[in-house]
């Protein structure tokens, strides 16, 4: 299964449109917040299933975090702001362990991150619209097959 993972698109359709050609190959798209409306825009264009949460810039009544399973992997999705990810991963790590998550997907920092700790994979795709700390405009393509996860960072 191929999954496109984005965050912090901030209603900048110019950059979202640059990501769209890559998203057509996905079975699922995950959006980690800011802005939730962008997930609807992406769905409208690609007609792909999307799982999305709201971020700190979203003022609508949708989920802040979602736990779901794909290919036998428990995924914890949130924007990250309520776990203070700009100041470290301690709080989100604690929640991930509580949930027995295999994969944690979050955004908020606009800085890509890919680390594995205590058998949990933490992914922040960065931002395709407003990257920070010298990072590129990018997102992640994740393939899960036969219990194996492979990741590709896509720079646009």
Q: Is the peptide bond before 35 cis (omega within 30 degrees of 0)?
A: yes
pLDDT, one tens digit per residue, over 76-117 is: 999 999 999 999 999 999 999 999 999 999 999 999 999 999
Are the C-beta atoms of 33 and 55 separated by less than 8 Å? yes
Q: Quote the CA–CA distance of 26 and 141 in Å, as a whole number.
A: 8
pLDDT score, position 117: 97
Q: For the residues 29-47, what does the mean pLDDT come to? A: 97
Phi, psi of 151 (to 5 degrees): -125, 140
Q: Where are the domains of the chain?
A: 2-155
| CA nearest neighbour of 133 among 149, 111, 152 | 111
The CATH number of the structural domain formed by 2-155 is 3.60.21.10
Share of the chain above pLDDT 90, in %: 99
pTM of the model: 0.97
């Amino acid at each position: 299964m191929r999954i496109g993972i984005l965050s912090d698109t901030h209603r900048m359709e110019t950059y979202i449109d640059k990501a769209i050609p890559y998203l057509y190959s996905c079975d699922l798209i995950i959006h980690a917040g800011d802005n939730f409306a962008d997930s609807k825009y992406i769905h409208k264009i690609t007609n792909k299933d999307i799982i999305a949460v709201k971020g700190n810039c979203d003022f609508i009544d949708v989920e802040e975090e979602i736990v779901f399973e794909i290919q036998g992997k428990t995924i914890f999705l949130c924007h990250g702001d309520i776990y203070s990810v700009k100041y470290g991963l301690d709080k989100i790590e604690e929640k991930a362990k509580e949930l027995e998550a295999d994969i944690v997907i979050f955004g908020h920092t606009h800085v890509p991150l890919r680390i594995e700790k205590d058998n949990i994979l933490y992914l922040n795709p960065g931002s395709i619209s407003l990257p920070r700390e010298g990072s590129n405009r990018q997102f992640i393509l994740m393939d899960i097959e036969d219990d194996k996860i492979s990741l590709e960072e896509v720079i646009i």
